[in-house]
Amino acid sequence: MKTFLGIPRPAASRADVAEPQQYAARPGSATTLGQDHRTPGEPLRWGPQFPDAARESLRNEQMRRNLNFATTSIREKRAAVVAEAPDWELLRDAGSQTKINVMAHLPALLEEFERNFTARGGTVHWARDAHEANRIVANLIKDTGSTEVVKVKSMATQEIGLNEYLESEGIDAFETDLAELIVQLGDDLPSHILVPAIHRNRAEIKEIFKRRMESVPDGMTDAPHELAMAAREHLRKKFLRAKVAVSGANFAVADTGTLAVVESEGNGRMCLTLPDTLITVMGIEKIIPTFTDLEVFMQLLPRSSTGERMNPYTSMWTGVTPNDGPQNVHVVLLDNGRTRALADDVGRAALKCIRCSACLNVCPVYERVGGHAYGSVYPGPIGAILTPQLTGTSGHLDPNNSLPYASSLCGACYEVCPVKIDIPTLLVHLRARSVDQDKAAHRPTAWGAAMSAASVVMADYRKFALAEKGLGVLKLAAGKKGYIENVPLPIINGWTTSRDLPTAPDQTFRQWWKENRGSRGSSTPPIHDRPLGDTPQSSQEKVQEGREND
């Protein structure tokens, strides 16, 4: 495995550098609980920079408690079922290699899927971006004469803002996944890939249902069973009258033209079988070569996502089956920045993602700030590497430019990823790309100025020794506590707002050397204390001289 220490850093071209653009949060309507949420102008780019959004999220103690409880529970379930699989690492290797193969042959696989899906009565549409995909879906719905659709949970439709677009076209879209329903009724934004309402607790969900559903049972409590039954009653009428359904797809099999959706509630099965028209919106990276490959992912996905041995509902369809299920079947193959990511030999690894959300559940950053701080429908570690590549970035004012820095690089995400995406490597790669863009645009930064000053000092041992003498100021500032809580200086202040700065040691290495080695007859400083201009030969001679004096 490559580590982030050895990652290649391609130089940024001028084409990658754009003038800074101003991005600002757009205020949205309040939720049923009176909490303000931003309405995204772009589903992949809303709100402020990550540090500012995270700082605000950290003030929400209830959300942090909700997240801690939920992610801890999911982590424990996942760990238990993964431990039962003796070939788990082999499955991860197989899944990873399959996805690498897909990226290498993506155009051919997509064309093969189109041929097979079309041969079985389906219709394939190609969409370069969100606008094209939304327009295609809206026109297909209008052709049926329907003004409402039921939806299966779909990250792709969230990514393109389909619900909002359909609303602007006079079409009502009803989410049928329970968590998505909670988000929709609460005028909220999703905060998790698998469990969009993970930031809500049962009491909050009960209040949302009471205020927004047409009718709820008298005396309904926040017991999970009662909430589920209320949602079932609310959705039942919509299922029965719906003429059109919109879904995503977990996988698309090239050699058979088969689409697959996995879910846990049965709502997907209702959407995929009852309506006359079925429209699927799918990212082009969801393709896999053969039906045999599906076996591997059907073992990886449920264990990594919901902590189950298998999905309760797995639905597959291949075009149209006469007199059985939808007779008007479409699939929209969505690019929306994916070919941009594919062109990056390192960044393309993000397209291996199967949307299991395992990386979110182990991420210490996500657990504390939640999903809304990422300003994208793709939060957490995978969002930090996927979102900037899908949208591209245009300088430090772009909120997505800050996402690769939303990580401690602890590596927990890589350890649980079922397809072995080396997220730490990609994070550092994207950080390096941002730095290269700044250099190419000759854009000065406070961090760059600080590093330039540090290089001047560290390149000469005399200057470095002189700088060490100033460390006594830190000891005075630390006092008896032994650490400094806040330093009101640029860059350093960014560190000390969330961390304590340790004070300087009582004795520097030079002082120790002079005290312990100088008395032995050698005043020669250690090798790393000599000017960089010393030739290798003169350095070796001095080392030998020191040994003789010893």
Residue 198 pLDDT greater than 70, yes or no = yes
Among the residue ranges 179-193, 309-323, 491-505, the one predicted with the least confidence is 491-505
How many helices and strands (H and E) does the chain possess?
Answer: 24, 14
What residue type is assigned to position 375 of the chain?
G
pLDDT of residue 14: 31
**Which residue would you say has higher pLDDT here, 449 or 138?**
138
Q: Report the pLDDT averaged over residues 199-223.
A: 92
Closest-CA residue to 62 (of 205, 159, 183): 205
What is the DSSP code string of 485-538? S---STTHHHHHTTSPEEPPPSS-HHHHHHHHTGGGT--PPPGGGS-TT--HHH
pLDDT range class, residue 474, cuts 50, 70, 90: confident
pLDDT range class, residue 528, cuts 50, 70, 90: low
Residue 420 pLDDT greater than 50, yes or no = yes
The three-class DSSP label of residue 125 is strand
Residue 266 pLDDT greater than 60, yes or no = yes
CA distance 109 to 111: 5
Residue 93 pLDDT greater than 50, yes or no = yes
pLDDT of residue 314: 96
Residue 524 pLDDT greater than 70, yes or no = no
Q: Report the pLDDT averaged over residues 125-154.
A: 97
pLDDT of residue 103: 97
Cβ contact 27:36 at 8 Å: yes
**Which residue would you say has higher pLDDT here, 38 or 417?**
417
Residue carrying the six token digits 């100025």: 449
pLDDT of residue 544: 53
Q: Report the pLDDT averaged over residues 55-77.
A: 93
pLDDT of residue 11: 35
**Which residue would you say has higher pLDDT here, 452 or 258?**
258
Residue 231, Cβ neighbours under 10 Å: how many?
22
CA distance 525 to 519: 13
Residue 127 pLDDT greater than 80, yes or no = yes
3-state secondary structure 277-341: EEEEEEEHHHEECCHHHHHHHHHHHHHHHCCCCCCCEEEEECCCECCECCCEEEEEEECCCHHHH
Residue carrying the six token digits 């495995």: 1
Residue 160 pLDDT greater than 50, yes or no = yes
Q: Give residues with Cβ within 8 angstroms of 326, minimum separation 6.
A: 245, 272, 273, 275, 276, 277, 278, 317, 320
Residue 36 pLDDT greater than 60, yes or no = no
pLDDT range class, residue 155, cuts 50, 70, 90: very high
Residue carrying the six token digits 């299966």: 152
Among the residue ranges 290-299, 381-390, 484-493, the one predicted with the least confidence is 484-493
The pTM score is 0.81
Burial of 88 (0-12, 13-18, 19+ CB in 10 A): middle
Q: In this structure, what token pair is assigned to residue 303? A: 């264990």
Q: In this structure, what token pair is assigned to residue 505? A: 């040691």
Share of the chain above pLDDT 90, in %: 68
pLDDT range class, residue 525, cuts 50, 70, 90: low
Residue 26 pLDDT greater than 60, yes or no = no
pLDDT in tens, 372-403: 999 999 999 999 999 999 999 987 789 999 99
Among the residue ranges 10-14, 275-279, 436-440, 546-550, the one predicted with the least confidence is 10-14
Mean pLDDT of the chain: 86
Q: Which helix (H) or strand (E) holds 53?
A: helix 50-57
Residue 117 pLDDT greater than 70, yes or no = yes
Q: Report the pLDDT averaged over residues 447-453.
A: 80
Residue 122 pLDDT greater than 70, yes or no = yes
pLDDT range class, residue 535, cuts 50, 70, 90: very low
Q: Report the pLDDT averaged over residues 536-549.
A: 50
